[in-house]
Structure 1
Amino acid sequence: MKTAFKKYGRKDNHDLCELMLLNDSGMEVKILNYGATLEKVLLSGDDLILSLNSPADYSKERNFLGGTVGRICGRVYQGKWQLGANILQLLQNDGENHIHGGIGLDMQVWNFKLYAGSQVARADLTLVDPDGNNGYPGNLKLHAIYELDNDNNLRYELIAVSDKMTIFNPANHTYFTLGEKAKDLKMQLNADYYLPVGEDGLPNQGMKSVDQTAFDFRKVKKIGEALNSSDKQIKLRNGLDHPFILNGNRPAATLIGENHQMTMTTNAPAIVTYTANHFNHTGVANNIDQYDGITLEAQCPPSENSDLGEITLLPFEKFDRKICWSFK
C-alpha cells in the first residue's frame, strides 16, 4: 500500500493538495483536501466516478462532484428548524428553501494526514466549522476518513461533534459511472419505499411503495428504464432526484456495468439518488453531460416540514456516518 500527495494551488491562504491512495492490486484513489472531495477512483484503466478535467477546476465554481457536502446536504423546508417554540432561520438559497449548507463544507480547505500500512492506505481530513457559519449553531469539529484496502474496498467515514445543539445531515456527493454513462448501468436498491417530491424538490406525500413504479429497483434493472419512463415524478425532476428508504438488508445498493461492479453498504437510513440531470457540457463541468453519473447519497431523508428531530445533534453527541464502496 502506498500514499502520496502533491500541491496544485492555493486558496484562502491554504495549500490545495491532491492526495493519492494506491493498493497492491493497482487500484488508485485520488482525494482533494478542497471539500474532502473524492476526485477519482481508478481501476483497470477506468475512472469509475465523474471527475472534472483537473484538480484546480473544483474550486473555480461549485459542482458537488465527490464533495463532502454539508452541514446539510439537500433541502430544508423554508430554511427553518423548529424545536418547540424556537425557530432557527437558515439562508434561503434555493427559492424559499435552504440547500447544501449555504457556502458549505465542500467549499472549504481541510487539513490532512496520510497513512500507508501493509493492509490499508488512508487519508484523514479534519476541519473546524465555526459557530454561526452559514447560520448554523455550534463549533463543529469534523473528521473525514477515506481508507482503501487490497480487496478494492473504499471506506468513507465522517465523524463530527458540536459544542452546541445543532442540525447536521451531510453526505458524500460522488457521482458513480463505473467507466460508462449512468443511464446505461444496472442498479439494485434494497428499498421498498421512496419519497415523492414536489416542484421544489422536497418530499410532500410521505413514503410511497416502489411496487409497480419506475422506482422499483428491488431487482436489478437498467437505470435508463426509469429515466425513459412516463412516471410523473421522473418527468417532474427530469430524472431520478429522490430519496429511497433503506430496508436494512445488505448491500444497500449495487451498480453493475459492462466491466465493473460496485456494492455499497452504509449505516444511513436512506440513499438520495440523482442522475446528473442538470449537466449539459457547460461551465467548469464541460466534460459532463446529463445522465452521465448517479449519486448514492447516504443520509437521512429530507423532511417535508420544519421538524428536523432526526438530524438534530445534542451538544457533544457524536455523529458517525459510515459507507463502504466495494469495487470489482
Structure 2
Amino acid sequence: MKTSFIKYGVKDGQDLCEISLENDHGMKVKLLNYGATLEKVLLNSENMILSLNSPEDYSKERNFLGGTVGRICGRVRLGQWKHGNHIYQLPKNDGENHIHGGIGTDMKVWNFKLKNSDQESQADLFLFDSDGDNGYPGNMKLHVTYKLDNKNNVSYKLEAVSDQLTIFNPANHTYFNLGEKATDLNLQLAADYYLPVGKDGLPNQGMQSVENTVFDFRQGKKIAETLGSDDSQIKLRNGLDHPFILNGMQPAAILTSDKHKMVMTTNAPAIVTYTANHFNHTGIANNIGQYDGITLEAQCPPAEGINLGEITLLPYEEFERKINWNFS
C-alpha cells in the first residue's frame, strides 16, 4: 500500500494538492483537497470515473466532478427551510430555488493528512464551514475519509457536526463510467420507488412505483433503454435526473460494463441518478459529453416543500454518511 501527494497550485492562500492512494495490485485512487474530490479511480491504468483534463482545471469553474457537494447537494424549493414558525432563507442560485449549497463545500480547499498500513491506504480531509456561510446557520466541522484496500474497495465516509440547529444533505458527486459511456452500462438499483420531478428538477408527485416504468432497475438493465425511451420524465430532464428511494437491500447499486463491475453499498436512504445530461464538450469539461457518465449520489431525497425535517441536524448531533465502491 502507498500514499503520497504533490502540490499543483495555490488558491486563497492555501496549497492545492493531488493525493494518491495505491494498493498492492496497482489500483490507484487520485484525490484532490480542493472539494474533497475523488478525481480518478485507476483500475489497470483505466479510469473508472469522469475526470477533467488536469487537477488545475477543477478550481477554474464549478463542475461537481467527484466533489463533496454541500452543505446541501441538490435543490431546496424557494431556498427556504421552515422550522416551527421561523423560515430560514438560503440564496437563490437556481432560478427561484437554492442548489448545491451556494458556494459549496466542493469549491473550498480542505486540510488533509495521510495514513498508510499493510491493509489500506487512507486520506482524511477536514473543513471548517463557518456560521452564516451561504446562509446556513451553525459553525460546522466536516471530516471526509477515503480508503483503498487490497480487495479494490474504495470507501468514503463523511462525518459532520454543527454547534447550531441546521440543515445538511451533502453527497459525493462522482460520475461513474467504468471506462465506457453511461449508455453502454448496465445499472441495477435496490429501489422499488422513484420521485418524479417538475421542470425545476424538484419532486412534485410524491413517490411513484417503478413497476412497469422505465425507472425499474431492480433486475438490472442497460441505461440506454431508459435514456432512449419516450417517457415524459426522461424527456423533461433530457435523461435521468431522478431520486430513487432505496429499499434497504444491499448492495444499493451495481454498475457493469463489458469489462468492469462496480458494486456500491451505502447507509443513505436514497440515490440520486444523473446521466451527465448537460455536458457538451465545452468549457473546462471539454473532454466530456452528454451521457458520458452517471452519478449515484447517496443522500436524502430532495423534499417537495420547505419542511426539511429529514435533513435537519440538532446542535452537536453527529452526521455520518458511508459509501463503499468495489471495483473489479
Please indicate the TM-score interval, normalised by the length of the shorter structure.
Answer: over 0.9
2:290 corresponding residue in structure 1: 290
CA distance in 1 between partners of 2:321 and 2:24 (Å): 27
Deviation at 1:45, TM superposition (A): 2.2
Q: Which 4+ stretches in 1 moved above 6 angstroms?
A: none
2:251 corresponding residue in structure 1: 251
1:239 corresponding residue in structure 2: 239
The amino acid that maps onto 1:257 is S
| TM score, norm. by length of structure 2 | 1.00
Deviation at 1:220, TM superposition (A): 1.3
SS at match of 1:277: coil
CA distance in 1 between partners of 2:25 and 2:216 (Å): 35
The amino acid that maps onto 1:237 is R
2:275 corresponding residue in structure 1: 275
Cα-to-partner distance string for 1:237-268 (whole Å, 9 max, x where unaligned): 00000000000001000000011100000000
1:178 corresponding residue in structure 2: 178
Aligned positions of 1:1-328 closer than 5 A: 1-328=1-328
Deviation at 1:34, TM superposition (A): 0.1
Deviation at 1:327, TM superposition (A): 0.5
SS at match of 1:41: strand
Deviation at 1:44, TM superposition (A): 1.3
The amino acid that maps onto 1:248 is G
Identity among equivalent pairs (%):
73
CA distance in 2 between partners of 1:213 and 1:40 (Å): 34
Cα-to-partner distance string for 1:185-231 (whole Å, 9 max, x where unaligned): 00100000000000000000000000111100001100000000000
CA distance in 2 between partners of 1:247 and 1:139 (Å): 33
Deviation at 1:84, TM superposition (A): 1.2
CA distance in 2 between partners of 1:45 and 1:170 (Å): 30
- In structure 1, stretches of 5+ residues that fail to align are none
The amino acid that maps onto 2:226 is A
| TM score, norm. by length of structure 1 | 1.00
CA distance in 2 between partners of 1:230 and 1:150 (Å): 43
Number of residues paired by the alignment? Answer: 328
- In structure 2, stretches of 5+ residues that fail to align are none
Cα-to-partner distance string for 1:279-315 (whole Å, 9 max, x where unaligned): 0000000000000000000000000000100000000
Cα-to-partner distance string for 1:90-137 (whole Å, 9 max, x where unaligned): 001001100000000000000000011000000000000000000000
SS at match of 1:225: helix
The amino acid that maps onto 1:43 is L
> For the Cα contact (< 8 Å) 2:240–2:274, is it kept in 1?
yes
The amino acid that maps onto 1:71 is R
Deviation at 1:183, TM superposition (A): 1.1
SS at match of 1:234: helix
SS at match of 1:301: coil
